[in-house]
Structure 1
């Protein structure tokens, strides 16, 4: 399998908007529009009909409040194709799609504990071993505006950086 060419480069603030793909910016702006009074939105604030353009790249991950274990709840069709399998129902720790668990956990941990956004941009091999540019944004969801019970990701693939 081909190795990623670009170093892991997460961003934890809105600075990514200056250089991310327009689709990532559109998804982020849609999520942010649901943050009423700076409160994290709940899953129920999102109607799939209003998000049709994003659905193939969406991943929903359940967060166990006691253990912080992560489980794939829903994985969009583009994400399944990139991975070469559907990890819905599986543990994120055992089926993550990134270079290392530590990098993956850093992103989820920030979204959960700091209730913050994470933008991750790296070159990754797809299911065929071909290196593609992968931009992913992680956003927290909370039923009560306080405790993150789900992380929603949106990913797009592009030609890798040279």
Structure 2
């Protein structure tokens, strides 16, 4: 497992939307001494304008693999349903379950942020030009136990 959180900005940072950049900067500020931040380190009062676009997915040790624990109101609106409490397999929003799993798996295996801005045709045949950022969270600073996700699309306004 790779475990180096550096001060260098990732190559995708400049092309990312404002919401994504803001959350990445916030998350990186919570990384202490090379350790991943925990869920408890994420204080909603520090990022109130981003809350509607955030999702927290828990990594579970059973066949469900990943479970939606918190889903922001704008994310629910874009999806057309509230997946809170459901597994990613039951309620993913993407081109396929394999691609959804791949993004979560990459985040866990590398214990690093994963950025994806590939357009896709989502459930119901709707074209999506979303960009998504998957940020690892850890109860022990090393092993990923939750993933903080922000999604931004042309339907999502940037904040000034």
Is TM-score (shorter-chain normalized) higher than 0.5? yes
Listed one character per residue, the Cα deviations across residues 23-68 of structure 1 (whole Å, up to 9, x for unaligned) are 2111101000000111100000011111101101100001014657
Question: Which residue in 2 is equivalent to 1:60?
Answer: 56
Tell me how far 1:113 sits from its aligned partner.
1.9
Cα contact 2:93–2:123 (8 A) shared by 1? no
Q: Distance in 2 between matches of 1:146 and 1:64?
A: 16
RMSD between aligned residues: 2.1
Residues 139-158 of structure 1 correspond to what in structure 2 (within 5 A)? Answer: 139-158=135-154
Question: Which residue in 2 is equivalent to 1:113?
Answer: 109
> Unmatched 5+ residue regions in structure 1?
1-12
Q: Which stretch has the larger CA shift, 115-124 or 49-58?
A: 115-124
Normalising by the residue count of structure 2, what TM-score does the alignment of the two structures yield? Answer: 0.83
Distance 1:126 1:45, change over 3 A: same
Q: 23, 29, 33: which is aligned to 2:29?
A: 33
Question: Which residue in 1 is equivalent to 2:90?
Answer: 94
> Unmatched 5+ residue regions in structure 2?
1-8, 156-160
Structure having greater relative contact order (Cα 8 Å, sep ≥ 6): 1
Matched length? 147
Tell me how far 1:146 sits from its aligned partner.
1.7
Distance 1:124 1:27, change over 3 A: same
Answer yes or no: is 1:138 the counterpart of 2:134.
yes
More strand by share: 1
Normalising by the residue count of structure 1, what TM-score does the alignment of the two structures yield? Answer: 0.82
Tell me how far 1:71 sits from its aligned partner.
0.5
